[in-house]
């Protein structure tokens, strides 16, 4: 692309770094912003700057939050003894959307993936074990995607948690989630949380 302005080129380059945005789309978005009022564009920029600077991760469950401890962890009516382990904040949103789950969460921040150089120590796994060891927990639900990385992570978590003598359950693995919890339809995902099964069952095959 030949740009008539370096400022225009820089903006298009930044937008095209976003996932799923090619140069053409980037140009369209940038030109769209150029037609907006200055105030609106300032606000857009400020939202992005504040997002990166001010966002926090919950000290208990590691979910994205505006506070030191997130709304779910501080809510009085949630069952604190029931922990649903998920890959990232999108999965928390997916499970919340089902309206079928009333416990709390633990966000791992990814899945174990030796191919990408992501090992257990890169994820919030120690803090999960710590939670189970130091607070009353009556069940851990492992709600991870049905991928090789999801399976590897499930097995690793099971090994780390099995000595605590609490039920470790998993959502139905046969259900087509499209690989990711966030894509599951709410009814199917909600049902699989309600009908979760002991993880040990999936090991006897
Ligand atoms: Zn939290």
Q: What is the pLDDT of residues 84-96, one digit of tens each?
A: 999 999 999 989 9
pLDDT recorded at residue 198: 87
Q: How many CB atoms lie within 10 A of CB 125?
A: 21
**Span from the CA of 48 to the centroid of ligand 1 (angstroms):** 23
pLDDT of residue 179: 46
Domain residue ranges in the chain: 6-54, 57-203
Looking at residue 49, its pLDDT comes to 95
Q: HEC profile for the chain?
A: CCCCCHHHHHHHHHHCCCCCCCHHHHHHHHHHHHCCCHHHHHHHHHHHHHHHHHCEECCCCCCEECCCCCHHHHCCCCEEEEEEEECCHHHHHHHHHHCCCCEEEEECCCCCEHHHCECHHHCCCHHHHHHHHHCCCCEEEECCCCCHHHHHHHHHHHHHHHHHCCCEEECCCCCCCCCCHHHCCHHHHHHHHHCCEEHHHHHCC
Q: Give the tens place of pLDDT for each residue, 65-116.
A: 999 999 999 999 999 999 999 999 999 998 998 888 999 999 999 999 999 9
Give the whole-angstrom CA distance, residue 2 versus residue 59. Answer: 48
Distance 12 CA to ligand 1 centre (A): 36
Q: What is the pLDDT of residue 204?
A: 57
Name the fold adopted by 57-203.
Answer: Dna Topoisomerase Vi A Subunit; Chain: A, domain 2 (3.40.1360)
Question: Rounded to the nearest whole angstrom, what is the distance from the C-alpha of residue 175 to the centroid of ligand 1?
Answer: 27
CA of 79 to the centre of ligand 1 (A): 13
Q: Output the pLDDT for position 178.
A: 44
Give the closest residue to 107 by CA, choosing from 47, 153, 51: 153
| CATH topology match: 6-54 vs 57-203 | no
Given 1.10.10.10, 1.10.8.420, 3.40.50.720, 3.20.20.150, which CATH number is that of 6-54?
1.10.8.420
What is the overall mean pLDDT for the chain? 90
Instruction: Report how far ligand 1's centroid is from the alpha carbon of 62 (Å).
Output: 6
């Amino acid at each position: 692309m030949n740009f008539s302005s370096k400022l225009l080129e820089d903006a298009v380059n930044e937008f095209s770094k976003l996932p799923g945005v090619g140069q053409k789309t980037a140009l369209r978005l940038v030109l769209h912003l150029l037609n907006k009022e200055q105030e609106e564009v300032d606000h857009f920029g400020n939202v992005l700057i504040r997002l990166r600077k001010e966002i926090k991760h919950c000290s208990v469950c590691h979910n994205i939050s505006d506070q030191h401890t997130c709304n779910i962890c501080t809510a009085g009516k949630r069952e604190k003894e029931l922990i649903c382990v998920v890959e990232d904040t999108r999965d928390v949103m997916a499970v919340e959307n089902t309206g079928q789950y009333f416990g709390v969460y633990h966000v791992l921040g990814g899945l174990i993936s030796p191919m990408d150089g992501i090992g257990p120590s890169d994820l919030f796994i120690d803090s999960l074990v710590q939670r189970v060891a130091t607070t009353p927990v009556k069940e851990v639900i492992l709600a991870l995607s049905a991928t090789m990385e999801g399976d590897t992570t499930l097995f690793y978590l099971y090994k780390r948690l099995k000595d605590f003598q609490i039920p470790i359950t998993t959502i139905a693995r046969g259900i087509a989630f499209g690989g990711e919890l966030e894509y599951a339809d709410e009814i199917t995902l909600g049902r699989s949380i309600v009908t979760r099964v002991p993880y040990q069952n999936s090991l006897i095959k």
